[in-house]
Structure 1
Amino acid sequence: MITTKERSVMDAHQNDSQKNVGTAAVEAASKLQFSVDLVEAVLYHLDILNKVDQHPCLRKGKHLDEALRRYEKLWLPLAAAHKDKLLSAPLDIEWIWHCHILSPLAYKRDCEFHVGEIVNHRLLSRQDRKAALEVSKELWLEKYGEKEPFKIHLPMGRELVDDNEDGSKFTSELKYDIRAAVGRQSLFYYNVSLPHYRDRQFITRCVLRYQQFLYLMTLHRKVFLVPCYDNDLVWHTHQLFPLTYRQDTERILGRVLNHDDSTDDRSPGSVLNVSYANTCKLWKEAFGENYSSPGAMYRGPTSRGTMSDFTTDNSDVDTEELPISVSLHCLALQTNPAGYKAKFSLLIYHVTAGTSDRKLIVELKGPYLVWTEEQLDKATFNMQRGDGLDFIMVRKSGLLGRKEEVADVKIESSAIFKHLVYRYQSNFTKEIEFESANCDNKLYVDGSVRAVTATQVLSLEVGDFGEYKEPANFDIQEPLQKWKEGSHKGCASSIASHRLLDRSGHEVFKVRVQHNVNHLRSSVHVYDAEHRLLTLANSVDSTQLPLPGQVSSSGRDVCLSPANGERAFLIKDNNGDWGVIGGRWIPGQDKGEGSMSFRIYLCREERCLYASLPGESGNLDLSVGNSSLDFKSGRLTTDFSSEVPQRLTTLLVLSVLTTLCVPRPKTWSPGLPVSTEATNHLCLNTSVVGRACGLHIQTPSNAYRSVNRATHK
């Protein structure tokens, strides 16, 4: 009979043996060679997908129909006739071509039937694509003239047209159903659109996992293997070089590897579900590691077009006409002041739109050539659209110090307003060249802009949490159903509905906060006064976000560090992903007062903001841009903006992250005080916002997860 100790020794030997075999398999896979630089090609591929994503009209309806006609009847014959040239197609044709190529066997069959041979395709850098488009345009015009425009207008926006206005529909002679393929491929980009997919370190790992995927196919030639999104992105990229792909896969696998994306049913027991489970098993056996990879898993569908846009009683205020506050931080003059005998001044005037009125902002005197914030402390002012700035250089001459204007250069407000993005404070730099007497000059201006808009003050009216059956959708009109003891626990969620009221006590927004400890997830929903869903924030984990070690330092704005107790949320609105927010608890020194640290990545601006609780001044205001939420009282202040719901959601998510990450007493149970010696300064037990986010109830917090893991061990 084998003892427990002997069994442990045997298991250890077996694990070591599997690890050695897995290491050898990974090394063998990494030696598979490709005839194209797939890391660079992935970046080019994502550029194209991003451009197509901005034109949903290419998914269905008349624009898709016209793109299919132009591809089949015009482009394929043209490209086949000039196979010796590096060509690139207009975006509508490029998209149809893309979807056709992603079925290699069907693409070969259709090309050979219609034009006699496979038409090659290449992914190009932006610069190379631009040059190739010029070549293609010239050949196109030679063949088709002006009656067939090379580029056609493609409307932007999220609206989809379901069918042609005149009822006509192009009848394709291609055997492959490209319309159906377009429908499937339109869902792909969302799952690879987060910024870590553009990080070279992450992409390099994606290429290795694609090599492992192919290597696994050499071991199991008749098995249906299911890719994750990281190796699937590289697989798609490889296919977009059709001739190279055929040569590479024939060399590696002895055959052209086909790609079938028509199997998309993910329900339990489906072919895809069962095959994925089998792929995980075979991967583990071959490489000694889990197949699922952080940041590489299915994210679900985009939220685009599924919610409502924000409208308000203040909608008659034209945000485009609201002013901005401009602050000048540094000015530097590159000139030769010797000609002025160092007696010169630089005067900056604010010129009101449509008038000759101007107001002196600041006068800067030589012989200095650089003026910093100390000299520019009064150079903060408001501008309306259409206003301008006059920078005037004045020289003093003669015994009486007569002033003479030697240079006058203007900046239009549009050059400054463009730096205001999504109403947050943004920095700008301008380089201005101008001529003066006997001198060529350059003026360098560094400053910042922020919105100056009407302030809204809202108060949080907190509702109670209750145990409800998790709603099937987010329609607040559908009454919540009380969860009954004995029902499936996974369906039980703690849900509270809150109201945000204006100064008159009118409801402006309704907020729903939801926690499910069984599925370890939380969410925040924000609705308008008509109860239409405006924004949704879901907790996300390392299935969607990469670990810090998977990306380079430049790619760590959107990653997750579970080892440090970090948690994250993804905010979505009617236009898709709006932001990714990560937060974690930073312990104080010597068990003293700690703080919450937050990282807010704005998807559309591709930049990161940072916040903390308490703030730098020690207050309990959670601040993002021009919006703030008093953590203790629940008072919310924000300027008027179409993005109020997104800001509100951001502030509430920061509060929920505090609920999930802040330490709790070891003996804590629901209803007991939450504060510890390290968190007393946060006023947790009396915080209105904390109560609204679930501090006093059982949530999937780090403390709960820690106890849960210990219990399961």
Structure 2
Amino acid sequence: MSDLFSLSFPNFNLKIKKQDGTTFTMSYHDFVDHILLLREVINHPEMTQQGEVLENFIKDYCGKMARQEMKFRHQQLKLPWQIDWIWHVHRLHPLAYYNDCCKQLPDGEPVDQKVQKCPTNYSKQYEATPPNLSTNCDMNFVPSIDLVQAVLRQCDFLDKFKKHVLYSWDLKKMNIFLFRQLMRNYALFMQLAQPNDIIVPTFDIDLIWHTHLRYPQHYRAFSIAVCGFVLNHDDSIETNILTNAFQKTADRWKKAYKSHMLQDVDKKILQTSQYVSFHGMDLTSTYNETCEGTTSGCELNDGGDCGLNGGDGGVSSCGGEGASSCGGGSSCGGGGCGGGCGGD
């Protein structure tokens, strides 16, 4: 993790602990890294438009993956934000990404996120068109999804993000209690997942979900621990199906947690809910204040102009994939991701 990143933003390390002792740690710095990337993409519309620029960066991404130039911390520190964006979109499809890596990379292992980008360096990496493209970069690593179409589908998510308070919010002033609630709602959402079913998040939950998907191994381990299988993320489902699935998700949420999906869940309900106690999840936090002005908070208004659900960017269909070997649309290890989910 960059020293400048650490000094610029407060960090909240939230631990989600199950009754069996399994603990997963998630970091506010991971969330900041994601938000900064989204802002950068919005400022460069060529990265969400079909054309030569986008296609060149996708080819460059495939080449770097094939040559294993993204595997280690020192390599990821040098990645331009454009490649990080293409990589991000690929990781939004966790089953496809996992299988692509297992089946096509020389070591048969998924490439995991090791670092967070220094925000001041985000726009100083590449020109609009990447140089030194490999002539065979798309021959050895061919994603099973159409990355051009996957990027284009993110336009709706980005449009909603532009209407969200976090698009312009000073991330140095995030309130620890607000971030804790975001994480709690995400964990509660994940617990509602059922095999061969579709669940649709609110936009706030979807922001956290997308952040978590940036750390593939940690996400897989967390999903198996909470859901019993790897919960897939599918942004290609039709709008009418999304609308119906969101209502069913909201009904399931109300039944399990005795509250509206857009409201915070009462802690007393969590203590008495059979559904939650079955998964035995307790969320605690540690806070390291590294800059001034970190106690101010903001109020998130999920829905409204953003739309109640996460739209094309936040829907899941789960096929009940359990833990097994690489290459089967299933899972392998993971574990905790303290701080920046990183290290070589």
Bin for the TM-score computed over the shorter chain: 0.5 to 0.7
Measured against aligned partners, the alpha-carbon deviations of 1:501-546 in whole angstroms (never above 9, x if no partner) come to xxxxxxxxxxxxxxxxxxxxxxxxxxxxxxxxxxxxxxxxxxxxxx
Whole-angstrom CA distance in 1 between matches of 2:305 and 2:227: 41
Whole-angstrom CA distance in 2 between matches of 1:192 and 1:271: 22
Q: Deviation of residue 36 (structure 1)? A: 3.6
Whole-angstrom CA distance in 2 between matches of 1:31 and 1:78: 34
Measured against aligned partners, the alpha-carbon deviations of 1:319-361 in whole angstroms (never above 9, x if no partner) come to xxxxxxxxxxxxxxxxxxxxxxxxxxxxxxxxxxxxxxxxxxx
Whole-angstrom CA distance in 1 between matches of 2:66 and 2:96: 15
Residue identity matched to 1:54: N
Whole-angstrom CA distance in 2 between matches of 1:99 and 1:283: 28
Q: Which residue of 2 aligns with 1:186?
A: 155
Structure 2 counterpart SS, 1:278: helix
2:47 equivalent among 30, 53, 58:
58
Whole-angstrom CA distance in 1 between matches of 2:65 and 2:110: 13
Q: Where do residues 476-515 of structure 1 align in structure 2 (5 Å cutoff)?
A: none
Residue identity matched to 1:279: T
Structure 2 counterpart SS, 1:97: helix
When normalised by structure 2's length, the TM-score is 0.60
Measured against aligned partners, the alpha-carbon deviations of 1:452-483 in whole angstroms (never above 9, x if no partner) come to xxxxxxxxxxxxxxxxxxxxxxxxxxxxxxxx
Structure 2 counterpart SS, 1:120: coil
2:251 equivalent among 281, 284, 305:
281
Measured against aligned partners, the alpha-carbon deviations of 1:125-174 in whole angstroms (never above 9, x if no partner) come to 527x95xx9xxxxxxxxxxxxxxxx943129xxxxxxxxxxxxxx89832
Structure 2 counterpart SS, 1:292: coil
Whole-angstrom CA distance in 2 between matches of 1:101 and 1:34: 23
More helix by share: 2
Residue identity matched to 1:287: Y
1:206 equivalent among 179, 182, 195:
182
* Native 8 Å contact 1:280 1:290 kept in 2: yes
* Native 8 Å contact 1:123 1:240 kept in 2: no
When normalised by structure 1's length, the TM-score is 0.30
Q: Deviation of residue 264 (structure 1)? A: 4.5
Structure 2 counterpart SS, 1:37: strand
Measured against aligned partners, the alpha-carbon deviations of 1:373-398 in whole angstroms (never above 9, x if no partner) come to xxxxxxxxxxxxxxxxxxxxxxxxxx
Q: Where do residues 138-537 of structure 1 align in structure 2 (5 Å cutoff)?
A: 151-154=125-128, 173-193=142-162, 194-196=164-166, 198=171, 199-200=174-175, 201-217=177-193, 220-265=194-239, 270-293=240-263
- In 2 relative to 1, CA 192–286 (structure 1 residues): closer, same or farther, beyond 3 Å? same
* Native 8 Å contact 2:16 2:23 kept in 1: no
Bigger Rg over Cα = 1
Runs of 4 or more off by more than 4 Å in structure 1? 29-34
Whole-angstrom CA distance in 2 between matches of 1:173 and 1:75: 10
Residue identity matched to 2:257: F
Residue identity matched to 2:296: S
* Native 8 Å contact 2:47 2:53 kept in 1: yes
User: For this pair of structures, how many residues does the alignment match?
Assistant: 237
1:46 equivalent among 25, 35, 40:
35
Structure 1, unaligned stretches of length 5 or more? 1-28, 134-149, 156-169, 295-551, 561-567, 571-713
- In 2 relative to 1, CA 112–284 (structure 1 residues): closer, same or farther, beyond 3 Å? same
- In 2 relative to 1, CA 231–123 (structure 1 residues): closer, same or farther, beyond 3 Å? farther
Whole-angstrom CA distance in 2 between matches of 1:233 and 1:261: 14
Q: Which residue of 2 aligns with 1:698?
A: none
Whole-angstrom CA distance in 2 between matches of 1:252 and 1:559: 26
Residue identity matched to 2:42: D
Measured against aligned partners, the alpha-carbon deviations of 1:31-67 in whole angstroms (never above 9, x if no partner) come to 5576342433111110111111111111121110100
Whole-angstrom CA distance in 2 between matches of 1:555 and 1:264: 36
* Native 8 Å contact 1:30 1:212 kept in 2: no
Q: Deviation of residue 211 (structure 1)? A: 0.8
Residue identity matched to 1:152: Y
Q: Deviation of residue 203 (structure 1)? A: 2.8
How much is the aligned-residue C-alpha RMSD, in angstroms?
A: 3.4
Residue identity matched to 1:43: V
Whole-angstrom CA distance in 1 between matches of 2:300 and 2:83: 35
More relative contact order in 1 or in 2 (CA 8 Å, sep 6+)? 2
* Native 8 Å contact 1:210 1:235 kept in 2: yes
Q: Deviation of residue 208 (structure 1)? A: 0.8
Q: Which residue of 2 aligns with 1:522?
A: none
- In 2 relative to 1, CA 30–36 (structure 1 residues): closer, same or farther, beyond 3 Å? closer
Q: Which residue of 2 aligns with 1:74?
A: 64
Q: Which residue of 2 aligns with 1:126?
A: 118
Whole-angstrom CA distance in 2 between matches of 1:261 and 1:225: 12
Whole-angstrom CA distance in 2 between matches of 1:122 and 1:178: 22
Whole-angstrom CA distance in 2 between matches of 1:274 and 1:181: 23
Residue identity matched to 1:202: L
Measured against aligned partners, the alpha-carbon deviations of 1:8-30 in whole angstroms (never above 9, x if no partner) come to xxxxxxxxxxxxxxxxxxxxx97
Identity across matched positions, percent: 26
Whole-angstrom CA distance in 1 between matches of 2:202 and 2:54: 28
* Native 8 Å contact 1:225 1:275 kept in 2: yes
Q: Deviation of residue 272 (structure 1)? A: 1.0
Whole-angstrom CA distance in 2 between matches of 1:85 and 1:151: 15
